[in-house]
Amino acid sequence: MSSTTPSTTRTRSGSATRYGALSRLTVVESRLFLREPSGAFFAVLFPAVLLTVLGLVMPWADQPFDDKDPILSQVNGITGYAPTVLALAVATVALSSFPTTIANYRGRGVLKRLSTTPVPPSRILVAQVLVNLVALLVAAVLMYVLGATVVGVAAPAEPLVLLLAFFLTVLSAFAVGSVIAALAPTASAATAWGMGVYFGSLFFAGVWLPLPLMPDVIQTIAGLTPLGAGSEALAAAWYGQPFPTSSLLVMAGWTLVGLPAAARLFRWS
């Protein structure tokens, strides 16, 4: 005799419906992503191209990253810049492309039509994050393979820690991007808001000046931002520095606060 109750059946049916909606949304978003050449380029190819060009043209690329540091003096300049390029790639997608995409959906009435279905805002945001996470993972692999082959980028000292740091960097950056995407009424507003946060994040991620070379007070502030903490954690894993506990916790905090807030604040139109 079956022990399945009607409530259990309804729960399983509801879960299957929710996961089915998410999988269908993810497939659709994947197809739309691949149809946009510029978005695919910046998400997948841009990090590899940028790191390789820097390695070929910059005179410091084969010099020690920091002569005064016992760990950083063991890696060349282009290896030292690799985590920053990775953080830059995440920021470009999470704070520039992604909010504008969602705001475009809002402006064209796509979200308004979806609001009449049982699909909650969280499914749309999660589908976008999943698609871009996969794209950025591919980008990271391409960046390392091309960088190692062409300009001598060293292998990460702690690859598993690097993977964890990368995963949290993507999630925390997309948590901020999701809040922008949830609230921006138009694509132009999403672009303006996103780019404002983007350029500030680039500074704290060490794009203009590598974090290890910044003053201590700037490093402290940077470590409290998603991209700054992400850059620190990625660098620690790549260079073989101590486990970046505080940076990982900062990014987890941004993720746990930002993504639910974005789903709650989400505007369909």
Angle between helical axes of 159-183 and 187-204 (0-180°, round to 10)? 150
DSSP 73: G
pLDDT in tens, 37-62: 777 787 888 899 999 998 898 888 77
Q: Which domain holds residue 21?
A: 15-265
76: in domain: yes
15 or 207, higher pLDDT: 207
**155 CB neighbour count, 10 Å cutoff:** 10
* Structural domain contains residue 90: yes
Is position 6 within any domain? Answer: no
In the block, residue with structure tokens 């049982």: 118
From residue 208, how far is each of 35, 73, 85, 201, 258 by CA, in Å? Answer: 32, 20, 11, 11, 26
For residues 226 and 252, what is the distance between their CA atoms, to the nearest angstrom?
Answer: 9
Query: Would you say residue 10 lies in a domain?
Result: no
- Residue 176 contacts residue 256 (beta carbons within 8 Å): no
Q: How far is CA 30 from the centre of its chain?
A: 16
pLDDT in tens, 87-131: 999 999 999 889 998 898 888 888 888 788 777 877 888 888 899
Q: Is the residue at 159 inside a domain? A: yes
Amino acid code (one letter) for 157 = A
2 falls within a domain: no
pTM summary value: 0.85
Question: Considering its fold, how many domains does the chain have in total?
Answer: 1
Tokens of 131: 């698609």
